[in-house]
Homo-oligomer: A and B are copies of this chain.
Amino acid sequence: MELRKDPITRSWVLAGNNDEAGGPESQCPYCLDESPLTPKIVAPLAPILAIPTSGPSNGVPGAIRVYPHPSPLYTVEGGADRQAEGIYDRMRNLGAHEVIIESPDHYHELSFAPEAEIAALLRCWALRIADLKNDIRLRYVTVFKNRGDLSGQQLRHAHSELAASAFIPRRVLYELRSCKDYYQLKERCVFCDILRQEERQGLRVVDLSPRYLALCPFASRVPFEVWILPRPHHASFEEDLLQRPDDFELASLLRRVLARLEHVAPSYHLVLHTSPNTRARPETSGFWTTLADDYHWHIEIMPITEKRSRSYSIKETYYCPLPPEEAAARLRDLPTSFAGRAQAKLDFPAR
C-alpha cells in the first residue's frame, strides 16, 4: 500500500491491496464476553482508548472503545518518504486508521442511543483527533461512519472509523481554498454566510437547536444529503467540543437527524470535516502554510438511496433528482421519537 499523487488533479490516491476485514459474525472480536447475542470466541484486544458510558447495554456496562483497524489503510511507523518518480510523486501510507466501537452491542444504532452515550462518542472522536494532531507528521485527521448494506461497510459491529494522513484529502482541500478565497473577498466565512441565509429562508432546514443547525445543502449531491454545522463560527470540531464537556446539544441533534434519515435512507456515509493539523510540519522544509481559522467544521451525511447513483453515470457532473427543499420538508415531518420507530427499525433491510 502506498500513496500516489494524480499529476492532473493533484489528489492523493491509495494504491495497493489490504486484506478485507471481517469474519463470521458469531466471532466478532468487538463483542464483549457477556453479550448474549454474539458469544465470545476471539481473545479480547487492547483498546487505544475506552470511555465508559452511563447505561448498560444488553446486560453489560456500556463502553466506547477505540482499536487499530484490523486491515489499516494507513500505518504510523516511519516517515512519509515522499519521493519523485520522474514527473510523478509517491509516498508511504503514513498515518493512522482506527475503529471506534460505539457500544458492546453488535447491532447498536446511534438513532436509538441515549443522548449521553452519543455525547460520549462525539467526545471520543474529539479526543482521538486531538491526540493524533500532536503528531506533526500528520496533516489531517477525520472521522467517518458507513451505515447500512449499501454503504460498503466492512465490519458489522456498530462502529465509526478514524483516518489520519500526511496529506489533506482533496474535497477538504477545495473547501479550505474556497473558504480562504471567500474570506479574502468578503471578510466573512462562507459557511457563516450559508448559515445566515438558511436560517433566514428556512427552506432547507431539517432541524435546529440554539447552537447547531441541520440542513439539506443548496447544491445537494444526492437526495436527502444533510449537513450539521455549529451556528457560531469554529474551525476545529475537537477544540469546540472539548471546550463544552457537558453539552449534549450536538448529540441530541445528531440523533434526531439520523432517526429521520433512517425512514428514507437506511444506508449512508457520514464524514466529519474539521480543520487540518496546524502543527503539522513536512519532512523536507520547515513549515506548511496550513490555513485553518477561516474554516468552519461540519458533519456531512450522504445517504445512499440507489444501488448506483446517476451522479456516477452522467460523468463529471452531480445529478440530484430530489430538490433539497423537498428533501428538507420531508425530513422535518418524519418522527424522531423512540416510540414511533420501534416497528420501522425491525423492517430495515440494512440490518
Contacts and interface: CB of A to CB of B under 8 A. Distances in A.
**Contact-residue bracket for chain A:** 35 or more
Taken together, the copies of this chain in the complex come to 2
A152 B312 contact: yes
A150 to B, nearest CB: 7
Contacts of A244: none
Contacts of A321: 16-18
Contacts of A309: 152
Given A16-B321, A313-B151, A314-B14, A8 B220 contact: no
Nearest to A12: B317
Interface string A141-177: 0101010001111100000000101000111101100
Contacts of A307: 307
Nearest to A170: B316
A13 B319 contact: yes
B316 A190 contact: no
A317 B221 CA distance: 17
A318 interface: yes
A194 interface: yes
Contact of A13 (B151, B172, B219): B219
Contacts of A218: 4, 6-7, 88
A1 to B, nearest CB: 9
Contacts of A15: 219-220, 320, 323-324
Nearest to A87: B193
| A interface, over-half SS | mixed
Name the residue in A4, A13, A144 with the highest tally of chain B Cβ atoms < 10 Å from its Cβ.
Answer: A13
B17 A322 contact: yes
A163 B6 CA distance: 26
Interface of A: 4-18, 73, 86-88, 142, 144, 146, 150-154, 163, 165, 169-172, 174-175, 178-179, 182, 190-191, 193-194, 197, 200-201, 217-221, 269, 271, 307-310, 312-324
Given A14-B317, A87-B194, 8 more contacts: A8-B178, A8-B190, A13-B318, A14-B318, A17-B321, A150-B308, A169-B317, A171-B316
**What 7 A-B pairs have minimum CB-CB distances, sorted nearest first?**
A152-B313, A169-B316, A6-B219, A14-B319, A4-B219, A13-B219, A271-B315
